[in-house]
Amino acid sequence: MGVSGGGTNHCRAIGGDFDMTVKNTTPRSRGFYAQLVLTLLLCLFILVPIVMSMLAGVTVNVFQGLKSGLTLRWVGEVWMLYSDSILLSVWLALACLAVTLVVGVPLAYVLVRCPGRLSRLFEELLTLPVAIPGLALALALLITYGGFPGYRTSPLFILTGHVLFTLPFMVRSVSAILSAIDLRALEEGAASLGARFWRRFFTVILPNARPGILAGSLMVVTLSIGEFNLTWMLHTPLTKTLPVGLADSYASMRLEIGSAYTLIFFVLIMPLLIAMQVLANWQKPDPRKTVTDDKDMS
C-alpha cells in the first residue's frame, strides 16, 4: 500500500493484529548536511581547546607537546597543593544541596499552592541573585555580615552566597513540575482517605515532584562547584575553593599544573553534566509505550 510523500508502508500480522511500520525514504536535503557540518564544526571549536587543556595537564612539557611524554606528576602536585580547596568545594556543593532541598522544595510547593500577586512578587525577588552580578551580591554580603569575624572567615560565609545564588534554580525546577500536575486534586484525594498534611506532603507531593527535585539538585551541585565570581570575593586564604584555586594555579604556577587542575575539575563536573542529560532523557515519556498502553486500555 503506497503512501504519498515518498514513504512506504509495511503491514505485518501479529496474533490477529496489524503492525504498521512507515519507512521514510525521502532524501536528505542540502540544508540538512550544511547544518550538520556547521554543528560538527561548532562542537570541534568547543571541544578541541578542552581536550588540549586536559592533555597539557598530563604532558611532561606543554611546549614540546606529546613527544615529551605523558605523566601524572602535575596531577599529583595539584592534589598535594590544592586538595583542601577541592574537598572544600565538594563539601560546599553538598551542603548547598542540603540547604536548597530543605528550603527550596517546600517554598516551591507554597508558591504553586498559593498563587497570587504576592507569590509572583516573591518569586521575582528570589531570582534577583541570579540577575545581578555575583560580585555585587558578594559585596552586599560583605557589607552586611563582614563585621562578624568568626562568620566571615568560615566556609559558612561562602555557603550563604552559594545558597542565595542556587536557590532560585531549585525552586524553579520543582515549581515547574508541580505546576504541570493537578496538585489540589491529588491532595484532596489523599485527604479524603484520612492522610494528614505531612503524610500528603511526603507520600504524594514529593514523589510527584521527584523529576524537578533531581534536575534542581544536579543544577545546584554543578553551579556550586563551578561558581567563581561570588566565591572569589568572599573567600579567604583558608577558604579557597576549586575555581579560585584554579585561577591561582594559572596565575602563579606552571602551565602544566594549571592544566592538571582543569583536568581534575572536569573529572568532578563532567559526570554531573552527563547525569543531567541522562535524567532529562529518562524523564521523557516513550511515545511507543504510550500508544501501546492506549491500545491495551481500549
Residue 14 clears pLDDT 50, i.e. is over it: no
> 33-42, 190-199, 215-224: lowest mean pLDDT where?
190-199
Contact 220, 159 (CB under 8 A): no
Determine the Cα–Cα distance for residues 94 and 272; give it in Å rounded to an integer. 13
Residue 130 included in any domain? yes
Mean pLDDT of all residues in the chain? 81
Q: Are residues 158 and 265 in the same domain?
A: yes
State the average pLDDT over residues 97-109: 93
Q: Is residue 294 part of a domain?
A: no
What pLDDT, on a 0 to 100 scale, did the predictor assign at position 80?
A: 86
Q: How far apart are CA 273 and CA 35, in angstroms?
A: 25
Query: What band does 284 get if pLDDT is binned at 50, 70 and 90?
Result: low
The pLDDT tens digits of the residues spanning 150-198 come to: 888 889 999 999 999 999 999 999 998 888 888 788 888 888 888 888 8
Three-state DSSP string of 94-132: HHHHHHHHHHHHHHHHHHHHCCCHHHHHHHHHHCHHHHC
| Of the candidates 84, 160, 94, 89, the residue with the CA atom closest to the CA atom of residue 129 | 160
92: domain CATH number? 1.10.3720.10
Let me know if residue 38 belongs to a domain: yes
- pLDDT band of 296, cuts 50, 70, 90: low
pTM given for the model: 0.75
Query: 14: part of which helix (H) or strand (E)?
Result: strand 7-14
pLDDT at 118 (0 to 100): 87
* Total number of domains constituting the chain: 2
Please check whether residues 90 and 206 belong to one and the same domain.
yes
> Final residue of a domain: which of 29, 56, 83?
56
Q: Which residue has the higher pLDDT, 122 or 10?
A: 122
Q: Is residue 193 part of a domain?
A: yes
Q: Residue 141 contacts by C-beta under 8 Å, 6 or more apart in sequence?
A: 157, 160, 161, 164, 234
Same domain (yes/no): 151, 79: yes
How many residues appear in the chain? 298
Quick one: 179 and 217 in the same domain? yes
Question: Alpha helices of 57-72 — where are they, by DSSP H?
Answer: none
Q: Tell me whether residue 135 is in a domain.
A: yes
Alpha-helix runs per DSSP H in the chain = 30-56, 73-113, 117-126, 128-131, 134-145, 149-152, 155-179, 183-192, 197-200, 206-208, 210-226, 229-234, 242-252, 255-283, 287-297
90 and 213 together in one domain: yes
Is residue 65 domain-resident?
Answer: no
51 and 86 share a domain?
no
Cα torsion at 286, 291, 297, 298 (round to 10°)? 170
Residue 55 pLDDT level (bands cut at 50, 70, 90): confident
The reply to whether 100 and 172 lie within a common domain is yes
Instruction: Specify whether 188 is located in the same domain as 225.
Output: yes
Q: Which domain holds residue 40?
A: 2-56
Domain assignment of residue 62, yes or no: no
Q: Are residues 157 and 251 in the same domain?
A: yes
The predicted pLDDT at position 23 comes to 54
Rounded CA separation 265/249 (Å): 13
Structural domain contains residue 66: no
Same-domain check for residues 223 and 141? yes
Among 27-36, 37-46, 229-238, the least confident range: 27-36
* Mean predicted confidence (pLDDT) in 263-284: 74
- Examine the domain organization and report whether 194 and 94 are in the same domain: yes
Lowest mean pLDDT among 90-94, 97-101, 111-115: 111-115
**Model pLDDT, residue 24:** 54
288 has a pLDDT exceeding 70: no
Q: How confident is the model at residue 61 (pLDDT cuts 50, 70, 90)?
A: confident
- The verdict on 37 and 126 lying in the same domain is no
pLDDT digits (tens, 9 = 90+) for 125-151: 888 888 888 888 889 899 988 888 888
What is the predicted pLDDT for the residue at 8? 46
Which residue did the predictor score with more confidence, 45 or 254?
Answer: 45
What is the mean pLDDT of the segment spanning 119-124?
Answer: 84
Between CA 206 and CA 223 the distance in angstroms is 23
pLDDT tens string 62-94? 778 788 888 888 888 888 888 888 899 989 999
pLDDT of the residue at 5: 46
**Where is 13: in which H helix or E strand?**
strand 7-14
